[in-house]
A and B are shown apart, each in its own frame.
Chain A
């Protein structure tokens, strides 16, 4: 019974004239209601129409707009056409609302230009020019962002474009653009990063895809309980004959008495005594009583499926001095691509830039104004650190123990000139085993190293990294196969660890005069 209450009949006609207001975004109310041009209803109607058109990616002819007055409308329509605004606004609500806000804002200034001495035509021209100038610049920025990130970022630049503008003019941004162009020459790398990821059904319902199924609701029902009651004399079935005073059911034999002048008195006497022979009627009536009971009630309702969830992408970037030049550019490209694909897949992206033991920078890179600022700063810097993989790995392992992070994928971009301590390597192996972590290495060096081999599950070598820096020499690269061939004992695989004898136990064995393969097994292996 809790249906929504209706709108009041009182003021209905007045309020209906303003109904367009409900379709407009809140941010347009102030400008739309107080604008100095034209009058209220046509203005609201025009705003709603313009918004609809822009979202659909088209603009109607300015002559058909109910607002603003025709010279203004024509000038504005031309400006929108010159900017090709409809293309930018097509199905982007927030941007469209910002454009409308800006239109209202600039048109409102026509009166102020006039107050400061401009003629009517001049004031209009100034307002339209100001509008156009704003949006020329802004559209250029949108184009640039779309080129780098593949889409217009989440929260910018519509609401924070002043900050954005400074950022897009910085040197760091030029570096971002350079890296973006570089990425186009590394299609393989992009493919590998896109392919990262494990998914699992999340707890959250997926609002996008909902199937209609029967949903059981608990409800309190009035459950009727019936019982039968016998009601005498109720016309139902005739059971037999009994004595009563019911004239309607008396036997014809009794009615005969009434016809006789003297026997009439007998009839009256019998009726008074209730001894007229009559049919015995009765019926059974069902009496219904209601009991309250809890029941399940089926109801067709939408049930959301489980949303597939991808964990975050973790990127460890080697910022050691040894990376300078082409390797550095490739590593930066890895970061940018990871950020782009994480955003496209709606995952979060965390970057650990590691250098020396104390040089660890951790950043979250979302495609929003703050993330863009961070990535611009990061990509604008040079790499001059040492190489300590243990710090970031420990951090990553610590993060993975957090529930939110258990589906994370780890990407390591390095020249491989590092080594992890046995403890860290063992912890990482345990995490891989228990949580199914996969580590993708991107090797930006001429040869692979034991350090990286030990940490990564698979390695993608960028062989031609020199091309992206200064020199242009192609170098042969050692693969895992070659390492295994030349240094079989160097790899820390299970068989090697099994076969390795620690120093203390080896000297103890030597003192005892035992040899490899002797039966005293408990002396062998790690103490």
Chain B
């Protein structure tokens, strides 16, 4: 995650965006909410994200994904050493939702169900009912932060599985609906036993968090004011209606066929590198991407959304990096490149022009045919007197070319130029596409899109260079030495003194 991102100017930006959101709300009263919603939802979310990020260093992507998961009703797991702002992120998250009850617990091996789900109600017991008093505990919370989740014993983990998955809690004789929006888990290590695996799979977004890099260290010390962080104002916070509307919009988001094709390829790739992604997870991933699209007001999921996939599929940082690499390569933004085969075509014409410029009539036999040889013969075959090494009369013996030769070559180069133009159009379209995406993207880190943009720009430059070389070659073919035209006239007889005179 590049760059330190907390500074005084950030505060100002956040404040400005809050003002903007407030302005929008005031000027578009809730009557024509539908339209307003589309327009200002993105602005609101941007303001929220800015507010959440304030004072945190190198946590941009984590904040965003965590919020996106919450909007999609999914759970997030932070994996990282102690002291990496895991709980701070979770605590900030609950302030985004209006009237959201927050529940936080640190689990140990000796934690008992009472700590999470509430004590048995004695009142109820006196009335012969065996019930827990869940008010203020996990079954009653909207946003929950569970630290050291995997430390808990299996009794708790099993109850948690149901709660996270179905959002229901078995209380006494009845089942209780839970208002849970999103649970945030945190752990130092991912254990490998069976129950933990199942539990691990419940967290759609898995974010490895590392200590701040050495570049960000200064900013970290500077950002010590996080203590006086203020949550986003009430005009920004989201309520149940907002979430329901977002979900309705997301259901209408299209998933294009080419996107599905890449997902299918990725699935195959996962089979090869033994990353296990369950079918349930794939379904959830697509839902999350739909939510991402809807929240930015896009009608369809974009290919660039794929760049979010590493955190949704691979379980740990090294494998996430590998998946990110794969995706970037597939999207053509991993590095700048020059399309291999097209480059070969251009190289071939450059080489051909070079060969034709250097061609010498000595290489041709009396019928005007180039002596075909698969190897370089000039050094070996001479006139047996070292003639091959002697400088040739380069001008007079230079090979000359006629019109049909040159026009045939130019025709080939022209079709090549057209081909290159096709490539150039494609990359231009792609760059525009990415720029538009980056402009409105809420969820992808600017660093990622910027790097992709730079690579695309370099690739475009490579295509331009190919085009330049091809047109240069075209000019080269046109400038080949020409055969002398037979103008059909018999030359004037040469005037000389009479031979008889001598």
The finding on whether chains A and B are genuine partners in a shared complex, rather than unrelated, reads yes
Residues of A within 8 A of B (CB): 1, 3, 5-11, 14-15, 18-19, 21-22, 27, 29-30, 32-37, 39-40, 98, 101-102, 105-106, 109, 111-116, 126, 130, 134, 158-163, 222, 224, 229, 231-235, 247-248, 255, 258, 264, 285, 288, 290
* Apart from A10-B332, A33-B349, A116-B483, 10 more pairs, CB < 8 Å: A5-B325, A6-B326, A15-B340, A15-B341, A33-B345, A36-B412, A112-B405, A134-B372, A224-B192, A288-B192
Partner of B153 from A19, A33, A35, A234 at Cβ < 8 Å: A234
Partner of A27 from B120, B331, B332, B374 at Cβ < 8 Å: B374
Interface presence of B23 (CB below 8 A): no
Closest to A285 in B: B153
Question: Cβ of B122 and Cβ of A115 under 8 Å apart?
Answer: no
Per the 8 Å Cβ criterion, residues 252-304 of B in contact with A are: 262, 265, 269, 272-273, 303
Given known A-B contacts A9-B262, A9-B332, A109-B370, A14 and B339 have beta carbons under 8 A apart: yes
Question: Cβ of A112 and Cβ of B319 under 8 Å apart?
Answer: no
Question: Cβ of A34 and Cβ of B348 under 8 Å apart?
Answer: yes
For the complex, give the distance between the alpha carbons of A162 and B344 in Å: 29
Question: Chain B 389-409, CB within 8 Å of chain A: the 1/0 string?
Answer: 000000000000111110011
Interface presence of B235 (CB below 8 A): no
Question: Chain B 403-428, CB within 8 Å of chain A: the 1/0 string?
Answer: 11100110010011001001100110
Question: Cβ of B126 and Cβ of A288 under 8 Å apart?
Answer: no
Closest to A235 in B: B155
8 tightest CB-CB pairs across the interface, nearest first?
A115-B402, A10-B332, A8-B332, A36-B408, A33-B348, A18-B341, A5-B329, A34-B352
Question: Cβ of B126 and Cβ of A6 under 8 Å apart?
Answer: no
Question: Cβ of B351 and Cβ of A30 under 8 Å apart?
Answer: yes
Interface presence of B29 (CB below 8 A): no
Question: Cβ of A116 and Cβ of B126 under 8 Å apart?
Answer: no
When distances are taken between beta carbons in the complex, the residues of chain A under 8 Å from B370 are 105, 109
Closest to B321 in A: A1
Interface range on chain B (Cβ under 8 Å from partner): 35 or more
When distances are taken between beta carbons in the complex, the residues of chain B under 8 Å from A255 are 125
When distances are taken between beta carbons in the complex, the residues of chain B under 8 Å from A116 are 368, 402, 483
Interface presence of B342 (CB below 8 A): yes
Question: Cβ of A231 and Cβ of B110 under 8 Å apart?
Answer: yes
Given known A-B contacts A1-B322, A10-B331, A258-B126, A111 and B408 have beta carbons under 8 A apart: yes
When distances are taken between beta carbons in the complex, the residues of chain B under 8 Å from A34 are 348-349, 352, 409, 412
Q: Return A496 CB to nearest CB of chain B, in Å.
A: 58
For the complex, give the distance between the alpha carbons of A153 and B331 in Å: 48
Q: Return B322 CB to nearest CB of chain A, in Å.
A: 5
When distances are taken between beta carbons in the complex, the residues of chain A under 8 Å from B202 are none
When distances are taken between beta carbons in the complex, the residues of chain B under 8 Å from A101 are 374
Partner of B403 from A113, A115, A247 at Cβ < 8 Å: A115
Question: Cβ of B192 and Cβ of A102 under 8 Å apart?
Answer: no
Interface presence of B366 (CB below 8 A): no
When distances are taken between beta carbons in the complex, the residues of chain B under 8 Å from A113 are 368
Per the 8 Å Cβ criterion, residues 7-38 of B in contact with A are: none
Closest to B355 in A: A30
For the complex, give the distance between the alpha carbons of A514 and B269 in Å: 97
Interface presence of B174 (CB below 8 A): no
For the complex, give the distance between the alpha carbons of A356 and B326 in Å: 73
Q: Return A231 CB to nearest CB of chain B, in Å.
A: 6
Question: Cβ of A14 and Cβ of B423 under 8 Å apart?
Answer: yes
When distances are taken between beta carbons in the complex, the residues of chain B under 8 Å from A159 are 374-375
Question: Cβ of A36 and Cβ of B322 under 8 Å apart?
Answer: no
Question: Cβ of B423 and Cβ of A162 under 8 Å apart?
Answer: no
Interface presence of B226 (CB below 8 A): no
Per the 8 Å Cβ criterion, residues 315-338 of B in contact with A are: 318-319, 322, 325-326, 329-334, 337
Partner of A10 from B325, B341, B430 at Cβ < 8 Å: B430
When distances are taken between beta carbons in the complex, the residues of chain A under 8 Å from B126 are 258, 264
Question: Cβ of B404 and Cβ of A115 under 8 Å apart?
Answer: yes
Closest to A12 in B: B332
Partner of B426 from A6, A11, A37 at Cβ < 8 Å: A11
Question: Cβ of B344 and Cβ of A33 under 8 Å apart?
Answer: yes
Closest to B121 in A: A247
When distances are taken between beta carbons in the complex, the residues of chain A under 8 Å from B416 are 40
Closest to B348 in A: A33
For the complex, give the distance between the alpha carbons of A162 and B109 in Å: 85
Partner of A258 from B125, B334, B368, B381 at Cβ < 8 Å: B125
Q: Return A185 CB to nearest CB of chain B, in Å.
A: 38
Given known A-B contacts A10-B426, A115-B405, A258-B126, A248 and B348 have beta carbons under 8 A apart: no
Question: Cβ of B334 and Cβ of A15 under 8 Å apart?
Answer: no
When distances are taken between beta carbons in the complex, the residues of chain A under 8 Å from B483 are 115-116
Question: Cβ of B155 and Cβ of A1 under 8 Å apart?
Answer: no
Given known A-B contacts A9-B303, A115-B403, A14 and B419 have beta carbons under 8 A apart: yes
Question: Cβ of B109 and Cβ of A229 under 8 Å apart?
Answer: yes
Question: Cβ of A112 and Cβ of B153 under 8 Å apart?
Answer: no
Question: Cβ of A36 and Cβ of B405 under 8 Å apart?
Answer: yes
Question: Cβ of B332 and Cβ of A36 under 8 Å apart?
Answer: no
When distances are taken between beta carbons in the complex, the residues of chain B under 8 Å from A37 are 408
Partner of B318 from A1, A8, A14, A248 at Cβ < 8 Å: A1
Question: Cβ of B341 and Cβ of A21 under 8 Å apart?
Answer: yes
Question: Cβ of B374 and Cβ of A29 under 8 Å apart?
Answer: no
Question: Cβ of A40 and Cβ of B415 under 8 Å apart?
Answer: yes
Interface presence of B241 (CB below 8 A): no
When distances are taken between beta carbons in the complex, the residues of chain B under 8 Å from A163 are 380
Closest to B401 in A: A115
Q: Return A420 CB to nearest CB of chain B, in Å.
A: 43
For the complex, give the distance between the alpha carbons of A30 and B348 in Å: 5
Question: Cβ of A15 and Cβ of B402 under 8 Å apart?
Answer: no
Q: Return B15 CB to nearest CB of chain A, in Å.
A: 40
Q: Return A245 CB to nearest CB of chain B, in Å.
A: 10
